[in-house]
Amino acid sequence: MSLNNLILLTGRTINQGVALEGGKTTKENVRAAAICTFDKDDFKKLDCLVGTPVKVITDHGEVVVYSTISEEGPHPGIIFIPMGPWANQLVNPDSQACGTPTYKGMKAKVEVMRSGRVLDALELMKRLREA
Amino acid sequence: MVERKIKTIYDVVCPFCGTLCDDLEVDIDIKEDSVIEVRNGCQIGTKKFFSSNPSGHRYLKPRIKTNGEHKEVSWDEAIDAAADILVKAKRPLLYGFSSTECEAQSKGVELAEILGAILDNTASVCHGPSLLAIQDVGAPLSTLGEYKNRADLVIFWGSNPVHAHPRHLGRYSEFVRGYFRKDGRNDRFIIVVDPRNTHTAQIADLFIQVKPNEDYELINAIRAVLRGVELDVKEVSGVSIEKIRELVDMLKLCNFGVIFFGMGLTQTLAHHRNIDAAICLTRELNDHTKFLLEPMRGHYNVTGANQVFTWNTGYAYSIDFSRGYPRYNPGEFSSVDLLIKDEVDSSLIVASDPASNFPAAAVKNLFKHPLISIDPHETPTSAFADVVLPAAFAGIECEGTAYRMDSVPLRLRKVKNAPGECISDKEILEKLIIKVKEKLGE
């Protein structure tokens, strides 16, 4: 299943904050920041279990992350990925000449992955280095 | 049972977020020189103290990358290699500085000037637009104590302190009892404006769900209604006109209001225009009552980085020294824009992790050129750095000064010694300055 016409927001979560202080290259950080949270009703449309990997695609890139239901809903049409290397594969790097990229509010679509792996932070970086 | 000798240090300043809580109590095992308990801190601050103990991801010695592998080397070798990279570069970038103390930031400015480098701090990717707006239209700010003692209406706009500044609500803005707000939470009306029903919104009195990227329209609709303009629409940014009118009445009737704003305003499409509008709204509200606003700064000393850079160069971030004197132009000399245009040919990252926090297009180019990382931990940046210089944690393993989000300087305390051969950011930058000068023949 897939969902189109979503808006992607990124930002701090307390779990992501704790995980980055506890070690950015650890599995804990993957669990905290390599997740995409959905509105409850949007998630039903995906027809998958919580934790199923999903591919999130924007005009600026794509990344595979775990899916989950938002505790901060309802926010139909909006998906949220905590700040970090995973979210940054998708954000709009254009700062419109003010220096700060547009980290929030990108158009996005999501596809449920039947097979696929969520990369850890260092694997993601390796992919960028080799690109 | 092994007997432990414990030393407790009181009134420790937490070096995590801009709230800079100054009431932590830290227990140190004297023999092991390690943190064994932290009281009063939030989850994230506590974790930071614990993660200063030696672990699999804490660097203990300098490292140089040879044949794709990091090898531990002496300080002299590492400083020599780092200085070599910086001296050979035509357009080096010095970035980070927000998670270290002011004395180290000052050394960073000195090094940037010697090298004719680009100097930037993390405000570039977070509250840079706020600084631009403040330069445009000024800002009615205050210290956090004023809000604590006086504010009876608090707005969190595009900011989620429950997650990002966990103790802000308890110390300054929501639950705390103030001199004129003796009943704490009951004496304050809390409004949250956000596209998501955040945890902060869930404990607020009024939640206004704005459409993503449409804060600018909403702020200006509020300004228009405040001036008595009849808007000929049913809703603005997903918020009904009735709700906007109700909100404006509340804002006018309060005794002392404050807007705490975060990344929801600075990182969305309108960037500094959002803050311009929010500042103008605050100014106009002062025709009716007392109103102020405050940026919710993220890194514990990003405010300090802005202060130190400003008093040294005249500018808060995005500074270019390539002509021998400081020039300022966010969008041209800001790190992400420079990296995307591939204008940088080496980087020195101090107490920061741009590989995690910059958009992928910028990170690709960061990795293309020599990279030096001054960091206590393994991060996605330091893991791929050519030279890693292991630092002591400022505020845990060395003293220094940090500026709270409201620009109040606080003295950071040292609670334990740094493990291994780690030395402070300031000492590392001093060593680099001496070596760079030597190589430049100065």
Q: What are the pLDDT tens digits along chain B (442 aa)? A: 667 799 999 999 999 999 999 999 999 999 999 999 999 999 999 999 999 999 999 999 999 999 989 999 999 999 999 999 999 999 999 999 999 999 999 999 999 999 999 999 999 999 999 999 999 999 999 999 999 999 999 999 999 999 999 999 999 999 999 999 999 999 999 999 999 999 999 999 999 999 999 999 999 999 999 999 999 999 999 999 999 999 999 999 999 999 999 999 999 999 999 999 999 999 999 999 999 999 999 999 999 999 999 999 999 999 999 999 999 999 999 999 999 999 999 999 999 999 999 999 999 999 999 999 999 999 999 999 999 999 999 999 999 999 999 999 999 999 999 999 999 999 999 999 999 999 999 7
A103/B57 Cβ within 8 A: no
Quick one: pLDDT at residue B266?
Answer: 96
B128/A11 Cβ within 8 A: no
Q: In chain B, which residues have their Cβ closer than 8 Å to the Cβ of A101?
A: 125, 267, 336, 358-359, 362
- Over residues A41-65, mean pLDDT: 96
| pLDDT at residue A131 greater than cutoff 80 | no
Chains A, B: CB contacts within 8 A come to: 192
The Cα B25–Cα B9 span in angstroms is 6
Please give the domain boundaries of chain B with CATH numbers for all domains. 63-124+300-405+418-440 (3.40.50.740), 128-295 (3.40.228.10)
Quick one: pLDDT at residue B1?
Answer: 60
Name the average pLDDT for chain A: 95
Quick one: pLDDT at residue A35?
Answer: 97
Quick one: pLDDT at residue A32?
Answer: 96
Quick one: pLDDT at residue B21?
Answer: 97
| pLDDT at residue A83 greater than cutoff 90 | yes
Backbone φ and ψ of B335, nearest 5°: -55, -50
Domains of chain A: total: 1
A74/B330 Cβ within 8 A: no
A12 vs B160, B332, B379: nearest CB: B160
Query: Helical H runs in B126-240?
Result: 128-137, 144-150, 161-164, 168, 199-202, 215-226
B163 vs A13, A26, A101: nearest CB: A13
A101/B196 Cβ within 8 A: no
Q: In chain A, which residues have their Cβ closer than 8 Å to the Cβ of B162?
A: 14
- Over residues A50-71, mean pLDDT: 96
A85/B356 Cβ within 8 A: yes
Is the separation of the CB atoms in B352 and B98 below 8 Å? yes
B198/A98 Cβ within 8 A: no
- SS3 state at B315: coil
Place of tokens 């704490």: B184
- SS3 state at A33: helix
Q: How far is A80 from chain B (nearest CA, A)?
A: 9
Quick one: pLDDT at residue B2?
Answer: 63
- Give residue A114's pLDDT band: very low, low, confident or very high (50, 70, 90): confident
B331/A21 Cβ within 8 A: no
Question: Which string of b and e fits B371-409 if b means at least 16 CB within 10 Å?
Answer: bbbbbbbbbbbbbbbbbbbbbbbbbbbbebbbbbbbeee
- CA atoms within 13 A of residue B148's CA, in its CB half-sphere: 15
The residue segments making up the domain with residue A103 are 2-130
The Cα B115–Cα B12 span in angstroms is 36
Where is pLDDT greater, at B185 or A130?
Answer: B185
ipTM of this complex: 0.96
Residue A91 in tokens = 């954000």
This model's pTM is above 0.90 = yes
Residue A98 maps to which CATH number?
A: 2.40.40.20
| pLDDT at residue A115 greater than cutoff 90 | no
Cis upstream peptide for A74 (omega within 30°): yes
Residue B125 in tokens = 């990717």
